[in-house]
Structure 1
Amino acid sequence: MEKNNRLMTRIDAINKEIPFSGTILVKERGELLVEASLGYANRAEQLVNQAGTRYGIASGCKLFTAIAVCQLVETGRISFDTRIRECLDIELPNFDEQITIHQLLTHTSGVPDYFDEEVMNDFEELWIDRPMYHMRRLQDFLPLFQQEGMKFTPGERFQYNNSGYILLGLIVEKVSGREFTEYVHTEIFNKAGMLDSGYFTFDALPGQTALGYIDQEDGSWRTNIYSLPVKGGSDGGAYVTANDMLKLWDALCNHELLNESLTNQLFTPHAESEEGDYYGYGVWIEKKNESIFKYHVMGYDPGVCFHSAYYPASEIKLAVCANISKGAFHMMKEIEEELI
């Protein structure tokens, strides 16, 4: 109870500084420490966010893609050393033929990113010439990057890359013979008990799904329905509840989705970013004193910010889901400072 009170005091303080809209869930060794929902899932109708509200998590769902690939490796149908030209028959004329699945998973492939932050800094610019309502399948993203040249030699360095995860999703489809989102629903969400999560389209959102809001400097706001692809895929865009996200960490830690060996490979620091963090397969890894401090995933889109983490030493798991463009990181850091 004391931990809960201290956490709520910190959450309230951050909310006064940066008005938050979303759900925060923290558990320690399975025991609930705090569950708080703030703001509105629908501002126009003043429908409040609740524990069961579904939120978009942007790139946070790259972990789902990595798990799907690891499951196919576990069955022996592909390996991490498999080259993409061996399992995809799409036209990639300027891509290096030596690119492996491991390099795609770890953002070290060098393939051109369809959202290249060296070229643009506003995600909405992507949909000027290619309307977002056409982006419903993974192959719809190919024209955004498949004719471009390599950014660097495969394996040379780390550079965060969305296109690589589109290719991984296409590999899942090709190898499994199933649509990517259907595969994730069946083999990950259902097995982990994530029954409220899914890849929903903007024009057919189910109940208890938060709309994403973009706040303007003048105090006005708009939803993000014209800012993102109409349906998420292997690089981002799924919807989860905070509780479902903690179920995913539990399922991974209990080897319900992957065997112990593959789980360890997913959680291995394979590449180091310029900022000093590490990347496994679909998951960020932070070290302190050469020990693993946390495994975490994050996602940012217009009207979306998301952080979820697992701290192995303390067995704390948290999810901070928000239907606004900022605030989730600050909430997570406050929780870390209080508990860890």
Structure 2
Amino acid sequence: MDKQMSWNNLANKQQELKFSGSILVRKSGQTIFSESFGYAIHSEKIENQPHTRFSIASGSKIFTSVAICKLVEEGKITFDTKIINCLDIDFPYFDEEITIHHLLTHTSGVPDYFDEDEIDDFEVLWEAQPMYRVRSAKDFLPMFQYEKMQAKVGSTFKYNNTGYIILGLVIEHISGMNFVDYIEKNIFQTAGMTDSGYFSMDELPERVSFGYMEKPDGTWKSNVFSLPAKGGPDGGAYVTATDIGVFWEALMNHRLLSEEMTSILLTSQENVEEDIFYSYGGYMELNEQGVVKYIQMGYDPGVNYRSVHYPNKDLTIVVCSNKSEGAYEMLKEIESLIVNK
């Protein structure tokens, strides 16, 4: 990669988008590009840095998936285990045939507490359930526990956040540990993700970026009243771009799961559209030769995240943003420079 050429192109794209966040590109265990833009805290003019921690919204779902795979690997559950047999929580209107597999692949048909086809404003969720009370997986239960099924179990892929909340509850019940503690011990610490964690928005540690949303008049407000007070099984972990690079290397080098279980995690399960599929570990692009790339994404008000890993190139690209938009466009610009040139 011509670093100067790439820097000029990326700088132009960043200016065009007013992108705020951090970018990391790693190949074969070496960082070949790392840069940050914008402010982590606008009011204090504190700039984003490579060590700044960003919320990654649904980008966190892969941590939940890895945790489930670890429990399967340990023989404590299987992918065919029915939810009714591994939880002591009553879901009176849920189909008794729902399995771990259905939840991981968004084919369970359970009611999504945030159905993006029905709700386009995440803040509306917190009118009945104040966000400051949502700090653990069980705190989400009032939002879906007594709702009827959204679709038949085993239906086609339909992205579903509730399914991952339930997976988090399974992790807690089977492991006997709090979800956050389990992830931090078995994934973050094992992988060496020393700056990652699930932090309460009213107890943020150092080096954390605030999420910002643009108002109609062009000014900005933070997302403090737009998200749950603390992230959980369906999203909301804080990471650095560097830590995501570390995560991919740990995962692909079988330090989190065995080689066999890593393969199961990353095997396509559902066709989403054309060449995009969904595995237990998230989205992936396939062609006739096999896997092109694994794809991670996350979006919340004031949060935008994209990460891709090209297994045949041993290449990882990470884009974390503390604004609602821009990560995808920056990722595509990077791919055009170093992958699709």
Is the TM value for this pair above 0.5?
yes
Residue correspondence of structure 1 range 1-340 to structure 2 within 5 A: 2-274=1-273, 276-340=275-339
Instruction: Describe the superposition over 1:8-67 as per-residue Cα deviations: whole angstroms up to 9, x where unpaired.
Output: 122112112110100000011122221010000011000000010000000000000000
Q: Give the secondary structure class of the aligned counterpart of 1:285.
A: strand
Contact between 1:284 and 1:295, CA under 8 Å: does it hold in 2?
yes
Deviates more, 1:34-43 or 1:311-320: 311-320
- Could you list the per-position Cα deviations for residues 79-117 of structure 1 after superposition, in whole angstroms to 9, with x for gaps in the alignment? 000000000111111100000101100111111100012
C-alpha RMSD of matched pairs (Å) = 1.1
Range with greater deviation from structure 2 (190-199 or 310-319) = 310-319
Q: Which 10-residue stretch deviates more, 129-138 or 285-294?
A: 285-294
Secondary structure of the 1:202 match is: coil
Letter in 1 for 2:178: E
The DSSP-based 3-state class of the residue aligned with 1:147 is coil
Q: Judge conservation of contact 2:297–2:305 (CA < 8 Å) in 1.
A: yes
- One-letter identity of the residue aligned with 2:10: I
Contact kept? 2:29, 2:249, Cα under 8 Å: no
SS of alignment partner, residue 273 of structure 1:
strand
Give how far 1:276 is off: 4.7
Q: Distance in 2 between matches of 1:289 and 1:85?
A: 39
Q: Are the aligned partners of 1:7 and 1:34 in contact in 2 as well (CA < 8 Å)?
A: no
- Partner secondary structure for residue 119 of structure 1: coil
Alignment: residue pair count: 339
2:304–2:325 contact (8 Å) kept in structure 1 = yes
How far did residue 274 of structure 1 move?
4.0
Amino acid corresponding to residue 84 of structure 1 in structure 2: I
Displacement of 1:339 after TM fit? 1.2
Superposed CA offset, 1:302-328 (max 9, x none): 000001111012111111010000000
Paired with 1:217 and 1:50, the residues of 2 have a C-alpha distance of 28
Distance of 1:223 and 1:314 partners within structure 2: 38
Runs of 4+ more than 6 Å apart: none
CA contact (8 A) 2:56 2:237 kept: yes
For structure 1, the 5+ residue unaligned runs are none
Q: Which runs of 5+ in 2 are unaligned?
A: none
